[in-house]
Structure 1
Amino acid sequence: MIQNSIDIATYVSPNLSALIESQVNDPDAEQPATLASVRAFIAGLLPASLNEAERLHHVDIDASLLDELDLLIEEFGGDALAIDFSRNTASEPLSRVIDAVMNDENRENPPTLETIREAIASGLPARLVGDGVLEDDEDDTLLSEIESLIRRYGADSLAEDFLRYE
């Protein structure tokens, strides 16, 4: 499959992206998630006894989400890998760690995901908890989260590209 030259994930709404991400990360999936399988998953959530408009409101999935998915299927095909349409951003705690590393006045180059992993492994989260930047329990999953981003995007990816702005 040819990778799209544009970042198509930036055109996907956050709600659809989160839904796609849940399907991409499904440990029970036998095949990689596609746009068609994500659509089938949504359809499977809805009781068959209701008409489509009623089903959409029944589980708080509005028509725009399915419409958005249908447009993506129309443009890219149902067999397009869903992971290509998933926007991945750092969690709020990881964003605070990235921000702390980016704002380190001793840093000469923009930090990569590997730089952030090294900072986490070296104890930066504990210092940030002490400074009140992170809550005591927020540092528990930072290492696994950054390693997941590295596996997906590569160690040399710029960390600032994953910042979540709330």
Structure 2
Amino acid sequence: MIRNPIDVATRVSPNLSALIESRLNDADIDQPITLATIRTFVIGLLPAAFTETEQLHHFDVNESLLDELDGLIDEFGETALAIDFVQDVASEPLSRVIEAVMYDENRQAPPTLGAIKEAIFSGLLARLVGEGALDEDEDDGLLAEIDTLIERYGEEALAENFLRYE
């Protein structure tokens, strides 16, 4: 299968991206997951009455994951790899951590994901909580989140590419 050369994940809603990612993380699936596979899964989640109604009358295109998937399938085809449609951005708390490292006056090079993990281990989270930039409960999952990004993209990936802008 051919990967999409453009960043199609920027055209996917956060809800659909999260759903796709949850299916990709399912260890019981052996073959590549395509948009058609995700569509079949979504249809299985819907009540039978909705799928019959859906065939007769489409609601606002942006209101339904199924409608969103249908639009993506129309544009990219049923065999498009679902992984291409997962948004890879840091959570808002991790984005604040990345920005804190990026704007560190002592830093000479743009930080990588590995550098962010190092900063977390060096006490950056405690400092940011103390400064009020992070809430105490926000720092709990950040190490797992950075580990997931490192696992997927490597320690040398530039951290700023994962910043969430909202």
TM-score between both structures, scaled by the size of structure 1:
0.84
The SS at the match of 1:94 is helix
Give the superposition deviation at 1:15: 3.2
Task: Rate the CA distance shift 1:25–1:100 in 2: closer, same or farther, 3 A.
Answer: same
> Moved runs in structure 1, 4+ residues, more than 4 A?
54-57
Superposed CA offset, 1:63-102 (max 9, x none): 4x32331232234332332111111211111111001001
| In 1, Cα distance between equivalents of 2:2 and 2:133 | 42
Give the superposition deviation at 1:104: 0.4
Contact 2:4 2:80 in 1 (8 A): no
Q: In the alignment, what sits opposite 1:62?
A: 63
Q: Tell me which amino acid in the other structure corresponds to 1:14.
A: P
Q: Tell me which amino acid in the other structure corresponds to 1:91.
A: S
| In 1, Cα distance between equivalents of 2:139 and 2:151 | 20
Report whether the alignment pairs 1:116 with 2:116.
yes
| In 2, Cα distance between equivalents of 1:86 and 1:75 | 16
| In 1, Cα distance between equivalents of 2:146 and 2:163 | 12
Task: Rate the CA distance shift 1:2–1:49 in 2: closer, same or farther, 3 A.
Answer: closer
TM-score between both structures, scaled by the size of structure 2:
0.84
Across the aligned residues of Structure 1 and Structure 2, the Cα RMSD in angstroms comes to: 2.4
Give the superposition deviation at 1:28: 4.6
Q: In the alignment, what sits opposite 1:129?
A: 129
Q: In the alignment, what sits opposite 1:142?
A: 142
Task: Note the residue ranges of structure 2 that are not aligned, 5 or more in a row.
Answer: none
Q: In the alignment, what sits opposite 1:19?
A: 19
Give the superposition deviation at 1:147: 0.8
Give the superposition deviation at 1:160: 1.0
Contact 2:2 2:80 in 1 (8 A): no
Contact 1:47 1:55 in 2 (8 A): no
Task: Note the residue ranges of structure 1 that are not aligned, 5 or more in a row.
Answer: none
Report whether the alignment pairs 1:98 with 2:106.
no
The count of residues paired between Structure 1 and Structure 2 equals 162
Task: Rate the CA distance shift 1:124–1:37 in 2: closer, same or farther, 3 A.
Answer: same
Identity %: 65
Q: In the alignment, what sits opposite 2:152?
A: 152
| In 2, Cα distance between equivalents of 1:83 and 1:4 | 10
Q: Tell me which amino acid in the other structure corresponds to 1:88.
A: D
Q: In the alignment, what sits opposite 2:82?
A: 82
Report whether the alignment pairs 1:52 with 2:53.
yes
| In 1, Cα distance between equivalents of 2:28 and 2:134 | 33
